[in-house]
Amino acid sequence: MREISLHILDLVENSIAAGASLVSIEVDENSATDRLVVTVADNGQGMDEEYAKKVLDPFVTSRTTRRVGLGLPLVRAATERCAGELTLETARGQGTVVRATFQRSHIDRPPLGDIRSTLLALIIGRSDVDILYVHRVDAREFTLDTREIKQTLGDVSLTDPSVISWLKEYLDQDLKEVA
């Protein structure tokens, strides 16, 4: 079973491949509705309607190294195993919003996995792309916005070792309090 953090990584990789400069990731866990909703929204090139209908089936891909695309079909299958669904809102030139909904308590619901490492890898590996991460569990909320961090840092790079240690600590302590 693929962990949710790895599905998130797949979705963000799609956004980056679509030329996004800002990717917003939201994980919303709600015990009252028993839903866990992952939303990945980007300002990349988007898809036209006809193509967007097709990409939820395996085998549709714009990649050239192999002829099957698996990211979206795998996330979709994971949601459907858990009484949930995958929805896609997109338009050519307008960016894309992918929303994956799971029944939170479902026996097959994948664990969140290592969100901290996923975020760190993205932030450090692709410091040219801005990431907004919001994680909500009922009334608790954790937010990380690389645009704000970059503004605070001024000339110091996000990949500076001291910034990386700070990021690790922030993710370890503050995210742990929420999720």
Residue 24 contacts Mg ion per CB under 5 A? no
Q: Is 3 exposed, middle or buried (0-12, 13-18, 19+ CB in 10 A)?
A: middle
According to CB under 6 A, which one of 2, 26, 43, 60 is a site residue for ligand ATP? 60
46 or 142, CB closer to ligand ATP? 46
**Residue 9, burial from CB neighbour count under 10 angstroms (0-12, 13-18, 19+):** buried
Total interface residues for ligand ATP by CB under 6 A: 20
- Smallest distance from ligand ATP to CB 116, Å: 22
Q: How far apart are CA 138 and CA 136, in angstroms?
A: 6
Nearest distance from C-beta of residue 68 to ligand ATP, angstroms: 7
The span from the CA of 126 to the CA of 34, in Å, is 33
Where on the chain is the footprint of ligand ATP (CB under 6 A)? 10, 14-15, 18, 42, 44-47, 55, 60-63, 69-73, 96
